[in-house]
Structure 1
């Protein structure tokens, strides 16, 4: 599986392009601020044709360029229904302090085509993508999971899980209790070998986070810890 990623925008949110290989279709995950040029470069470099934009959640640093990218290629944006309103009203998810950083104005418009995620797996660009609902950072946060041809597993965790940290829950729609449930019941149930591609920062594995992430300490997965 081909994974091309880069950080962009004021908050350095990670954007990823996923495909079965060069010269194929792809999906674009979390195209945030200032991501369009880098996306176009990656599409050209790997000769990729995008078929969908996927959003791990609706905060503008992850979806700011979603409409531009999706509408330019005539493809849909997939986002959970609980975060859909943030595509056209980003300030609703920021709170007063962050809103003030941008002068109280972040102009966005909903893409022409939007598909609401509900946990149903996706079959896109030759990829089988599991969709785990992980509310907490936002009501509509999700994790996308894929298996590679080499037998590995990859989880795009958005702002639910970072290397050594988790997403904040003090913004509008955030809920620490729901975040802990998502971490306990979903994240910690994943196999240790799962590669974590987070919404910010560096890659990790579930095993490393299980062992060292202080926010996971004391949380016991409902179905037992992952392994392998």
Structure 2
């Protein structure tokens, strides 16, 4: 399996590309701001053809480059329906203050997508991503699970990070709901499961179970 990625743009959002091998069709996960140059280079280097866009949620730093990908490769993104309104009108959800951070750029919008539900599988030749609904960071946040030849992997978006968890103070966010999602979906995974987050370095479920202060606080409350 080919699994690669890079941090894109001012928000350093991790964009991932998955394929069975070089020269194959691929899935692009979370193409954020200024992701197209890096993506174009990766696709050319590995001779890949994007056939699906998998979105962990609809925040702009994860969806900014959806439109050029859709226009360039004639496909639609996959998104959980609970984030549909955010994708269609991001400023209404992010607030006008985001405009200064965008440097005057007009935020992209989209309202056409394949709807993800808990358990939906995106299946292309040699790659299967299974979505699990993990609300809390946004109402429609998901993580994607898949089997790599070397390990179980979860693309955790902004639900779970190395040593931290996603923010929950934005519209549609809830810390209690987020921790419920992590406990329900992520913590039952095997300790060796590799976590590839939406920002920052990779980790494992076991490492986060042992050292993540938010997870430790949650588990202590269950004692």
TM-score by length of 2: 0.92
Deviations 1:160-196 (A, max 9, x none): 0111111100011111111011011111111111111
Report how far residue 97 of structure 1 moved. 4.3
Q: Confirm or deny: 8 A CA contact 1:154 1:195 kept in the other structure.
A: yes
Structure 1 residue aligned with 2:147: 147
User: Secondary structure at the residue paired with 1:215?
Assistant: helix
What is the CA RMSD across the aligned residues, in angstroms? 2.0
TM-score by length of 1: 0.90
Q: Confirm or deny: 8 A CA contact 1:91 1:105 kept in the other structure.
A: no
Unaligned runs of 5+ in 1: 221-228
Structure 2 residue aligned with 1:46: 46
Deviations 1:7-66 (A, max 9, x none): 011111010000111111100000000001111110110111111011000000000001
Unaligned runs of 5+ in 2: none
> Distance between the aligned counterparts of 1:130 and 1:72, measured in 2?
25
Q: Confirm or deny: 8 A CA contact 2:60 2:107 kept in the other structure.
A: no
Deviations 1:75-118 (A, max 9, x none): 1100001112222312233245445534786431316x510101
Matched, 1:166 2:165: yes
Structure 1 residue aligned with 2:109: 109
Matched, 1:67 2:74: no
Equivalent residues in 2 for 1:132-143 (5 A)?
Answer: 132-143=132-143
Bigger shift: residues 186-195 or 100-109: 100-109
Structure 2 residue aligned with 1:176: 175
